[in-house]
Amino acid sequence: MVSLALKSRSRGYNSFEVKLNENQSLDSLTVQDLKSIIKKSTKLDSIRQRLTTADKKVLDDDRKALSDYNILDGDEITFKDLGRQISWRTVFLIEYVRPARLSILLGPLIIHPLFYFPNPLSNQIYKGPVLHSTMQKSAFAMVMAHFVKRELETILVEQKLVLLKSSINSVHRFSNATMPFRNIFKNSFHYWILSGVLLAIPIYGQNSSSYKLASTIFDSPAWLGSCLALWTYAELSNLTVHMHLRSLRPPGTKTRVLPYGYGFKLVHCPNYFFESLAWFAFTALTGSWASGLFLSVSTTQMSLWALKKSKTYKKEFGDQVPKTRKAIFPFIL
């Protein structure tokens, strides 16, 4: 009779041994089946479980059989409680368009209009209405377009514009269906504060008004046009890469392949590179310290993600990975 030792790495859960019946084998028992066994014994929900083998291999595909991970009779499998989870699509919706009933710190799509358009709040902060410069008008349009694009990538079907449904297929397809609930606070701070309030207040104020920027480089059609052109190129390239990445993973699977195509010749994560390039263009257009801060924070985070993904690709695909590929910035990092 085949048996497995299940070792707990989390407080409150006991380790135990599971023995397969005569109708079960390591070839037929899937990762999801094992999670169900753990849930039945410990009451730990499946989406909160992280399973690893003795050699630190993560059992990350619920549909695969245990034998696919070279698990043998008597092997030890470790399970860990990841904590309360939340779906990624819910994460995106909360971060970008947070419902008013949940917080006064709304997402960027609501925060920026609050400071751009005349209203009691903006009039009080800016000591009256602001005669917006071309730079401010361009910056507002760029911010709104960026986050509308991100929202559409999340909630709309690839070919059609339809309302969000529970079974929707979006441009963003995730390796994991959920993330730890506690991360929502860190992620939301990034969007509500850094790219919301902190970014909006200095950009739409009197110091960048039409009167203040007259005859400066930030009022130059050539400068503004160049920055806008670079931003448009970066945003469209980012969208192209997202669509390509989506096509590489069949719906409902965690199949991972080494991506090729537009942007992937020089870096593993061209979507992060193009996003950084877009915010660089935005920072150059505005000359805002707040935009520079957001660019620094977001690029640092994306660089860490890219380095991690690059390491994963090299581990999984070995010699198939082009030697010239960097993680996020061509020829640099």
* Mean confidence (pLDDT) of the chain: 81
Residue 327 clears pLDDT 70, i.e. is over it:
yes
pLDDT value for 285: 97
% pLDDT > 90, the chain = 37
Residues 21-39 have pLDDT tens digits of 777 788 888 888 888 888 8
- Terminus-to-terminus CA distance in the chain, angstroms? 51
Within 133-220, residue ranges assigned H as helices are 134-155, 183-189, 198-203, 210-213
Burial 98-122 (b: 16+ CB within 10 A, else e): beeeeeeebbbbbbbbbbbeeeeeb
Write out pLDDT tens, residues 258-277.
Answer: 888 899 999 999 999 999 99
| 230 membership: H or E segment, kind and range | helix 221-248
Report pLDDT for 186.
67
pLDDT at site 266 = 92
Per-residue pLDDT reduced to its tens digit, 183-217: 666 666 767 788 888 999 999 999 999 999 998 99
User: Does the domain spanning 3-83 belong to CATH 3.10.20.90?
Assistant: yes
pLDDT surpassing 60 at residue 133 = yes
Separation CA 24–CA 177 (nearest Å): 27
Contact 51, 9 (CB under 8 A): no
Contact call for residues 90 and 98 (beta carbons, < 8 A): no
In the chain, ranges of CATH 3.10.20.90 domains: 3-83
pLDDT at 98 (0 to 100): 44
Quick one: pLDDT at residue 244?
85
Stated pTM of the model: 0.67
